[in-house]
Amino acid sequence: MKAGGLERGMIWRVEAAGNRFLLLDAVEGERVTERDAARLARESCGESSWPAHGLLVMEAGTGARASVGGSLAMTVYNADGGLAEACGNGLRCAGAWAVARGGGPGSRISAGRSGNAGGPGNAASPGNAGSPVRQAGGTHLEIETVAGGRWVEVAGNGDRYRVRAGLGPVMWRGPGFRVKLDGADHMVECLDLANPHAVVFVDSLDGLPLERWAAEVRGQGSFPCGVNVEFAALGSRPEEGPTGDLCVRVHERGVGETGSCGTGACAVAWVAAERLGLSLPLDLAFPGGVLRVGLEAGEAWVEGPVNLRAGPVQNGPGPKVAPKPAGASDGERGGVRGAGRGQDRGAGASRVKARGDRKAAPWAT
């Protein structure tokens, strides 16, 4: 095998509500070096036929990165090669892939509604009430990440799944700050889900200059490792897009705009619950699809669709990806190079729709 574990690795194309990833199956091979994984991300994620937002490296778990060691380990790299601390949609994709693949060596996978040690509670707990995956009796497994052990629950088969993932506690990063965007005053709320987020609520997403405003938020705050910036609204363009309680656009560090962001969805939902009085779980409509966010046993969870290509393809001398099969569906995370590893819906929650103004968005092709 080639040094770094790349030559025989299997590459999958995976997508979670418009958030696209390449997934490297290195479970059976040697450990993949950070240098080789970063190079693969830079060289392959920008492929013009199917641009991806990041690379998921799946290896056999060791327990070294988790309080409760899983049998599989996931490391996430941005399209620019930067290492990410956390990625909610990437974790959901990894869970669907693990079930499609048949798990990994020594996988602790159990079908049904009971849950495993270290995972979510029983089906009667408040956090399960709004989860179609849990209500359907999804498959439960543990995955090691750079942020610690995480659980996922998976329902579905073939190339279409619905996946719920636990992302740990949501932490507030200070009191926030105010920023002027095109002359209007806005409050920026700062949160942490092992990766940093800045959440800004606006009146509408219509015509919002995402890239410029995200740069202004980053420039006026203190974010030494960068930050993912989410803009959210209670209502926008009801004639277009998927429905949700909130609509969101996200600009991720090291990537740019993505179709959705799992950890970003949790950050927005936490601000909505704390500042606007909305009740969890909440549905958040992104340009790439809808993510549901809830709270269980003191930690956030995110749930939504995941699509896989029909099967893996074998790498040759260099990283290669097979073309997308006819009829297959397309599609967090933030990260910077050198980053550390380290209820029922409220009656007053409004139903809104996400904005759909970008004709050639990469997650829509």
pLDDT, one tens digit per residue, over 100-132 is 888 644 344 443 333 332 332 223 333 445 888
Domains and their CATH numbers in the chain:
10-168+303-314 (3.10.310.10), 171-297+342-364 (3.10.310.10)
How does pLDDT run across 157-173, given as a tens digit for each residue? 888 999 999 999 999 99
For residue 73, pLDDT over 90 is answered with: yes
**What count of other Cβ atoms lies within 10 Å of the Cβ of residue 149?**
21
User: What is the rounded distance in angstroms from the CA atom of residue 333 to the CA atom of residue 144?
Assistant: 17
What is the C-alpha separation between 142 and 133, in angstroms, rounded? 16
> If pLDDT is split at 50, 70 and 90, which confidence band does 6 have?
low
CA 284 to chain centroid: 13
For residue 23, pLDDT over 50 is answered with yes
Write down the pLDDT at residue 103. 60
Degrees, nearest 5: CA angle 292-148-57: 80
Strands (E), the chain: 10-16, 19-25, 54-60, 72-78, 139-145, 148-157, 160-168, 171-172, 177-181, 184-192, 196-201, 228-233, 243-244, 246-252, 256-258, 282-286, 289-296, 299-308, 313-314, 352-353
Residues in contact with 299: Cβ distance below 8 Å, sequence separation at least 6, in sequence order: 166, 167, 168, 169, 170
Query: 9 pLDDT band (50/70/90 cuts)?
Result: low
The predicted model scores a pTM of: 0.79
pLDDT, residue 321, reads 42
| CB neighbour list of residue 215: distance below 8 Å, 6 or more residues apart | none
Q: Regarding beta strands 196-201 and 184-192, do their DSSP bridges make them parallel or antiparallel, or are they unpaired?
A: antiparallel
CA distance 264 to 268: 6
Q: Which residues contact 184 (CB under 8 A, 6 or more apart)?
A: none
CA separation for the pair 252, 333 (Å, rounded): 6
Query: SS in 3 state form for 208-259?
Result: CCHHHHHHHHHHHCCCCCCCEEEEEECCCCCCCCCEECEEEEEEECCCEEEC
DSSP letter assigned to residue 280? S
Which of 25-29, 118-122, 360-364 comes out lowest in average pLDDT? 118-122
CB count in 10 Å sphere of residue 62: 13
CA distance 2 to 285: 42
d(CA 143, CA 172): 25
pLDDT at 339: 32
Higher pLDDT, 241 or 126: 241
Q: 206 pairs with which residues across the strands?
A: none
Which residue has tokens 């004709």?
359
- Across the chain, mean pLDDT equals 77
DSSP 110: B
